Structure 1
Amino acid sequence: MLAEDFIIQIEGTTFNRDEYLEYIAKPRPFKDLAVHDVNIRILGDVALIHARVTLTTIADGVAKEALYTDAYQKRDGTWVCVAACAPDPIAIA
Structure 2
Amino acid sequence: MQTPGVTRNRTEFLEYIAKPRPFKDLAVHDVTIRILSDVALIHARSTYTMLADGAKREALYTDAYQKRAGVWVCVAACAIAPGT
* TM-score, normalised via structure 2 length: 0.86
Greater relative contact order (Cα 8 A, min sep 6): structure 1 or 2? 1
Extract unaligned runs of 5+ from structure 2.
Answer: none
Instruction: Tell me what 1:47 maps to.
Output: 40
* TM-score, normalised via structure 1 length: 0.78
| Correspondence for 1:84 among 64, 77, 83 | 77
Equivalent residues in 2 for 1:1-93, closer than 5 Å: 10-11=2-3, 12-16=6-10, 18-88=11-81
Q: CA deviation at 1:21?
A: 1.8
| Bigger fraction of residues in strand | 1
How many residues matched?
A: 80
Extract unaligned runs of 5+ from structure 1.
Answer: 1-9
Q: CA deviation at 1:55?
A: 0.1
Task: Report the residue type matching 1:14 in the other structure.
Answer: R
Cα deviations across residues 30-87 of structure 1 (Å, max 9, x unaligned)?
A: 0000000000000000000000000000011011111000000000000000000012
Structure 1 residue ranges, 4+ long, deviating more than 3 angstroms after superposition = none
